Structure 1
Amino acid sequence: MQETLTNKPPLILTIDDEKVIRNSFKDILEDNGYEVIQAENGHIGLKKIREHKPDLILCDLQMPEMNGLEVVRAVKEEFGKIPVLIVSGAGVLNDAIEAVRAGAWDYLVKPLFNMDILLQAVEKALDRAKLIAENEAYQKNLEKQTVKLQQEIEERKRTEKQLVQAEKMAALGDLVAGVAHEINTPLGIGVTGISYLNDATRAFKKRFTAGEATKTDLIKFMEDCEEACQITLSNLKRAAQLVAGFKQIAVDQSSDEKRIFNIKQYIDEILFSLYPRIKKTRHTVHVDGPEDLEMNSYPGAFSQVLTNLIMNSLLHGFEDIEAGQITITVKKEDHSIILRYEDNGKGMTEAQQKKIFDPFFTTKRGCGGTGLGMHLVFNLVSKKLNGEISCTSTVDKGTFFTITVPMGDVED
């Protein structure tokens, strides 16, 4: 005899219009540790089912008022999974088939001269019911855990998306800071030139009004004006050049516009935008590729990829290295663009290479690194640019990235 999920002896309801049979079942079942309640017809049986919620029902097939098949159907409709075993003296195959179709779990023919058959059928049905209950509990728990896991995944995705966006904005912020720093010098010189020109004009006007200006004064004033104008003009042109160079990169990084662009020229523009960061070091960047090679893609994503690779070299690859070398090679292969990026920095271990594109992986934990730069690169290449990226690295020798992306339709 087994126990229920609540560690109580199983409760069995016997429904039979013959008292002798009910009592014989009751005696054998109680002797084997089961609790037994009785009902003399189907209507009373259903009432007791509602009151006591038995673990198993033994039901006669042929009874007045409400037969066993009606009981089986009512139990199945109202209570679902309570096992019902039909016990009948008819012994007709069609009755057994109809009972099982109605929802009975087993069919026993009486008289039962060997009560072991009854006990085995009861134990088998209770085992099956227990397994069904355990499986349902497992399924509910699994569904609950699945929902919880899905919520955690969605929350992680939202957090990661926010951090990636923050990474983009931080990169854009660095770009703006670089513009402000670089543009400050030519604008400062231009302001100085205009201020000098203003002072010189006022001084000459004063002498001229007083009738004290000489030809020598006029010549000197004209020379000063020309020099001040040349200095101011050249520095304003320099500022305009800086703004124009930074502007396209900034626009592309903050938009998802797809367009045709010259790859090598655009790489030069990206490097120009990173000049404030690179010029503070002795590192050099060499770019090799056809001058006329174009692609129809997302320049903003392309810019973010290359910017992150370069910044990764500057911050990680060239740590404790005075003068590093970055080599960028681009070429066309069939309908794809192959970009190879290489630095001769300190490289990575095999374990680090396996995690290089994982979110939140960084060797600069606690030093401002979010660990999302290379994860962003992977997502941009594989999703936005619809390409592939691979990485190989050797400790103390450097790191090598290969990026393959479709070049798109570049025909007019």
Structure 2
Amino acid sequence: MNQDGKPVVLTIDDDQAVRESLANFLEDFGYGVLQAGDGQQGLEVFAANQPDLILVDLRMPRMDGLQVLAKVQELSPQTPIMVVSGAGDIRDVVEALRRGAWDYLVKPIQDMNILLHSVETCLERARLQRQNREYQQSLEESLEKLHRTQKEMIQSAKMAALGDLVAGVAHEVNTPIGVSVTAASFLSERTRQLRELYGKGEMKRSDLEKYLALAEESSGSVLSNLERAAELVQSFKKVAADQSSEEKRAFEMKNYLEQILLSLRPQFKRTPHQVRMHCPEGLILDSYPGAIMQIMTNLIMNSLIHGFVDGRPGEISINVEPAGENVLLTYRDTGQGMDREQKERIYDPFYTTTRGSGGTGLGMNIVYNLVTQTLRGSILLETSPGQGVVFMLTLPKDPDRAAALPDTPS
């Protein structure tokens, strides 16, 4: 564009009369025009001014039109080039178009309106291409921003779930530790009393026997409760480490599901609900345990928060079966189920039926993305009002060696 915002056309032709004729005609229609007498000079003018359109002859000294075409394609492939040449051989036309010419007009041009139409068409095509590139760049930037936002939301949801897990496990660990402290304190007091009797020379055989029985009972209570606390802490450490990382590793599915359920036990403690799990021994996956932990946690919490709402005891069942290079995980609850609209929107981000109660609407969206993207599997939902939900997950044993499974319509 020139200073007036008009398109600038560069004409490259060794015939000055032709150049002047083209320039005068185009200037009458408001175009800015630059001129060059051969291909070499034309490239210099092009580099200095970056015109919007080039008109080039084929037969010129120093550098012909085909060489100009090739060089402009190399430097600025988005710049439109029209060949205006007296060389009307079909082979020249084909070669010019092959090298990137946008149009080809044969001199002498009998009707200059044809030239004007071709110039306008090429400039409009270039404008649309430029607009499409801008739209594509904007779309790519928006998509990248969405991906970053999605990762941040997933990370926030992971950290929130981890916080709930910490609070729950801390509360759960309090009980066995409290029992252990009580038993140890009681044993310490009895030890002090026995020492006093011994110091006074008043200790009887029966006193020692009672103390030994009490010591055995108390130490057993301390040991069993501390072992229970240690089991909870170890389970929490493994699950929390997986949840906060994206590491791939080999693990035994049944053992890992048991650890997940153990870490979620505080969520069930004050409810009448039960969870049952069946998984064959020795089923090894080389996958992403953190993703499986998040999936199972979100499914279970979805049942506890949204499924079991009427106070009646509910049941969650988890069944895992090997299927060749995949595993089939069926998650089922006996909750209130979903209507058609809820079923269709269940994986939509921010969709929740408990907004006022703190629901973010990200849980099932995270589940869907983890199943289909991270684990390269598929998820199918069957549900109806009053009939609970059944999620059927097909998960490759090794996601990195599996092609993404097609989504199955719910």
Equivalent in the alignment of 1:192: 185
Among residues 297, 320, 334, which one is paired with 1:307 in the alignment? 297
With 326-335 and 131-140 compared, the bigger mean Cα shift is at: 326-335
Contact 1:5–1:130, Cα closer than 8 Å, also in 2: no
Output aligned runs, 1:368-383, within 5 Å.
368-382=358-372
Residues 119 and 238 from structure 1, CA distance in 2 versus in 1: closer, same or farther, beyond 3 angstroms? same
* SS across alignment from 1:346: coil
Q: Which amino acid aligns with 1:239?
A: L
Residues 183 and 155 from structure 1, CA distance in 2 versus in 1: closer, same or farther, beyond 3 angstroms? same
Residues 341 and 99 from structure 1, CA distance in 2 versus in 1: closer, same or farther, beyond 3 angstroms? closer
Equivalent in the alignment of 1:282: 272
Gaps of 5+ in 1: none
Equivalent in the alignment of 2:163: 170
Is 1:403 paired with 2:383? no
Is 1:296 paired with 2:288? no
Q: Which amino acid aligns with 1:201?
A: L
Q: Which amino acid aligns with 2:334?
A: N
Equivalent in the alignment of 2:252: 260
Equivalent in the alignment of 1:131: 124
Output aligned runs, 1:4-403, within 5 Å.
8=6, 29=25, 33=29, 70=64, 77=71, 81=80, 83=82, 85-86=84-85, 93=89, 105-110=103-108, 117-167=110-160, 169-208=162-201, 213=202, 215=204, 218-220=205-207, 222-248=209-235, 250-255=237-242, 256-260=248-252, 263=254, 270-287=260-277, 289=278, 293-297=281-285, 302-319=292-309, 321-330=310-319, 332=321, 334-335=323-324, 337-365=327-355, 367-382=357-372, 387-403=377-393
Partners of 1:133 and 1:199 lie apart in 2 by: 96
Residues 384 and 171 from structure 1, CA distance in 2 versus in 1: closer, same or farther, beyond 3 angstroms? farther
Equivalent in the alignment of 2:401: none
Contact 1:106–1:121, Cα closer than 8 Å, also in 2: no
Residues 25 and 405 from structure 1, CA distance in 2 versus in 1: closer, same or farther, beyond 3 angstroms? closer
Partners of 1:26 and 1:300 lie apart in 2 by: 69
Report how far residue 145 of structure 1 moved. 1.1
Q: Which amino acid aligns with 1:259?
A: F
Partners of 1:30 and 1:268 lie apart in 2 by: 80
Partners of 1:12 and 1:72 lie apart in 2 by: 16
Q: Which amino acid aligns with 1:176?
A: V
Partners of 1:247 and 1:129 lie apart in 2 by: 70
Contact 1:193–1:232, Cα closer than 8 Å, also in 2: no
Contact 2:7–2:51, Cα closer than 8 Å, also in 1: no
Contact 2:165–2:264, Cα closer than 8 Å, also in 1: no
Aligned-residue CA RMSD (Å): 4.8
Contact 1:388–1:405, Cα closer than 8 Å, also in 2: yes
Contact 1:85–1:104, Cα closer than 8 Å, also in 2: no
Larger Rg: 1
Partners of 2:329 and 2:23 lie apart in 1 by: 84
Contact 1:283–1:324, Cα closer than 8 Å, also in 2: yes
Contact 1:386–1:406, Cα closer than 8 Å, also in 2: yes
Contact 2:11–2:36, Cα closer than 8 Å, also in 1: no
Instruction: Indicate the percent of aligned positions where both proteins have the same amino acid.
Output: 22
Residues 303 and 48 from structure 1, CA distance in 2 versus in 1: closer, same or farther, beyond 3 angstroms? closer
* SS across alignment from 1:390: strand
Partners of 2:321 and 2:33 lie apart in 1 by: 85
Report how far residue 342 of structure 1 moved. 2.4
Residues 30 and 374 from structure 1, CA distance in 2 versus in 1: closer, same or farther, beyond 3 angstroms? closer
Residues 243 and 146 from structure 1, CA distance in 2 versus in 1: closer, same or farther, beyond 3 angstroms? same
Contact 1:179–1:243, Cα closer than 8 Å, also in 2: no
Q: Which amino acid aligns with 2:163?
A: A
Calculate the TM-score normalised by the size of structure 1.
0.70
Contact 1:46–1:75, Cα closer than 8 Å, also in 2: no
Report how far residue 404 of structure 1 moved. 3.8
Q: Which amino acid aligns with 1:296?
A: I
Residues 303 and 161 from structure 1, CA distance in 2 versus in 1: closer, same or farther, beyond 3 angstroms? closer
Contact 2:12–2:37, Cα closer than 8 Å, also in 1: no
Q: Which amino acid aligns with 2:330?
A: R
Report how far residue 41 of structure 1 moved. 6.2
Report how far residue 83 of structure 1 moved. 4.0
Partners of 1:188 and 1:303 lie apart in 2 by: 33
Report how far residue 359 of structure 1 moved. 4.2
